Amino acid sequence: MTRYRAPADRVLCGVPLGGIGTGAVELWPDGLLGAWTMEVQPARDSEGRAIGWLSGLLVEESRRRVARLLTTHALRWPTVRRITYEGRFPSATLTFHEPRWALRVTLTAHGAFQAGASRASAMPGALLVLRLVNPTARDVHATWWVGAVNPVGPWQVGRYNVVERRASATSLVFRHRAQPDATMALTLPRSRGGRVTVLPGWNLQRRFFRFDWASLALHPWEQLYTNGVMAQPPAPPEVRSESVEWGGALACRVRVPAGAAREIPLALTWRTPTAAGHRYERLAGHAAATGRHLLQRRSAIAARQAACQRILARAGLPSWLVDASLNNLYPLIASSRWTRDDRFALLEAPRACPLLGTLDVRYYGSWPLLMLFPDLEVNELRQFARAQRADGYLPHDLGRGEVALPSNGTTSVPWRDLNPKFVLMVYRDVRWLGDRALLRECYPHVLRALRWMERMDHNGDGLPDHVGQDQTYDLWNLRGTIAYSSGITLAALSAAEQMAQMQDDGRTARWCLRWRAHAQEELVRQLWTGRYLRAASEPDRRNDACTLHQLNGQWYAGLLGLPPILARAQVRSAMATMLRLNARASRFGAVNSVWPNGRRDHTCVQSANIWPGTVYAFASLAILEGFRAQGLAVARRVWETFATRVKSPWNQPDTLSADDGRFLFGDYYMRNLVIWTIPLALLGWQRMRAVTRAMRQAAR
């Protein structure tokens, strides 16, 4: 369990709350909401917190009344003294420490995510459950107050709030006249033991053209803790002035008997139509209906989430790896798109690089998607097959922001690593799923991909010829024959040979076998130094840097049970060299490229620093090759950099500084999902399939 304490720990992220392809919001350790990724966007402060989203608790015993906002953020009103935050995706629990309360107070938050249940996981909303425990010998009354800004629509003018009361629940619904299909709702269940009151609206903005924490107006909260009731002033039908930030509030008052506990559940839900639409539009109605749906199923959702966590925790993995593996699933919520017409894709990085699918990165990050949501994995893989160019080239991504315009890459030349990675992913998915129909469907695309790869070998050595910045390290000007894509090509040829045999295509199988044998000889001749594979054999020089990715093809081959790309003795020698050079070059992880004398390769920002996803892949390869302790140690250093040093486990970059561990590039990065290949390497193919199958079954 990843644990923080506010305000002592400065943490600017939290477990994403929402569904697959729905957008999300994060409940941060300081008790505030931040990092909105749905289309509705409230005003935010400089650190990403949503201004105007607050909750508070009024506790009454005898004649004593104590009210605190449930945050440690500095405000004009009294707040709780301290918060303990425990996060393990897809849920988080906040424990509020306030010595003047007679209650123990916790808030548990989670979205609809349930491993293996893609439809059920696509509901757009979050559940927040306030738990009140009374350890005293006298009854206590408590009122949970939730105030929120209406963020729907392009700006303030045109916003309005409505109250929707049903037999099972009361909802405060935020709307906008210009976007009638867009809604957001706060929903509380109606029960005998609690009294729900609603304030449809008031102006949260105290100063004209200024809306920040200093100018925030919380009159209903002030009235609640002063008078014990929330006043209901008359509300205009809709906002007609830029000087108004329209808010609304719900409050639920309950009696907590002596020695007993009470829970108050709340649903925060949304519906935000876009041009491509959302898959959830086919599953859910407007936001209030979604809120009622989630509240009715909250116990089952929470139980299924907890069961999946327990299954992985009991698989015999180190506790830190269980925590890291579960928490690294956050991009499935924070960075996913699932359109109305059923096209799914993960974003490479929502802000830094909002490209969907990004083939060279999904080669790493799609492993847990295959294990937990195989239908979504195959959905995205098929989109790439359909987007294959006429010449056989696989596009770099499916589009920017929307899966509509696949692009060739971030640089102007065709990338040499995309096609062999596609071939490997097809074989991987077919082998994991045992899906011969998928192979029949994708096999023609594999053949076209191979023909394109053959044309990228200009000198006849069987290996791709690079012209610079034409693979996943797109700021690194490597030319000629490079270790990274050469090894991946060898693994892809082995995979293609296996698929050809499964298709009774002996001619292609023999072609791949001959090609691979020749390419392997050339790989050793051009790049083997006697201890490791040099980075590149360039037209005008040999680049003798020791790169962490030199055996990346061996990593995939090992996971898929394919022949090694080098002799076993050479693989072990290269592994030992990388552990001695790259893994020792930084205390925050293993550096991408190091010279034989142990100095970091400062050719570019990518060579000189750390890619966490590449480190995780290297760690799983180390385990496969018998370096179990060393592989786990280097992976743990990266995870602990996120968890304890930079304190951003639910928003990880693609590049970490080798100097001090700070972020250099990327946000919510897809590649880091590859950490799931470490449990795979530890448990083996059969056991990992059994574990993830049990996780999927627990969600049914």
- H/E stretch holding 379 reads helix 374-386
Nearby residues of 158 by Cβ (< 8 Å), 6 or more positions away: 176, 177, 178, 238, 239
The pLDDT value recorded for residue 63 is: 80
Whose CA is closest to 58, among 197, 156, 157, 183? 197
Whose CA is closest to 173, among 270, 106, 52? 270
Token readout for 31 is 């008790």
Question: Using CA atoms, how far apart are residues 478 and 601, in angstroms rounded to an integer?
Answer: 13
Question: Using CA atoms, how far apart are residues 438 and 450, in angstroms rounded to an integer?
Answer: 18
Helices 612-624 & 552-560, crossing angle to 10 degrees?
A: 50
pLDDT in tens, 7-37: 999 999 999 999 999 999 999 999 999 999 9
Check: CB of residue 264 under 8 Å from CB of residue 130: yes
Check: CB of residue 134 under 8 Å from CB of residue 39: no
The pLDDT value recorded for residue 235 is: 66
**Positions of the chain with pLDDT under 50:** none
* For residue 7, cis peptide bond before it (omega within 30 degrees of 0): yes
Check: CB of residue 150 under 8 Å from CB of residue 159: yes
- Tokens 């928003």 correspond to what residue? 651
Nearby residues of 581 by Cβ (< 8 Å), 6 or more positions away: 546, 594, 596, 598
Question: Using CA atoms, how far apart are residues 76 and 143, in angstroms rounded to an integer?
Answer: 20
The pLDDT value recorded for residue 373 is: 98
What does the domain layout of the chain look like in residue ranges? 2-307, 315-698
Check: CB of residue 608 under 8 Å from CB of residue 601: yes
Token readout for 37 is 């990724």
Residue type present at position 283: L
Helices 418-433 & 436-455, crossing angle to 10 degrees?
A: 160
Residue type present at position 564: P
2-307 maps to CATH 2.40.128: no
The pLDDT value recorded for residue 579 is: 98
Instruction: Choose which CATH entry (3.40.50.2300, 1.50.10.10, 3.90.105.10, 1.10.287.540) describes domain 315-698.
Output: 1.50.10.10
Please state the pTM of the whole predicted model.
0.96
The pLDDT value recorded for residue 1 is: 81
Sheet with 261-271: list strands edge to edge.
2-6, 82-88, 91-97, 104-111, 125-133, 261-271, 183-189, 169-176, 159-165
Token readout for 566 is 């080098």
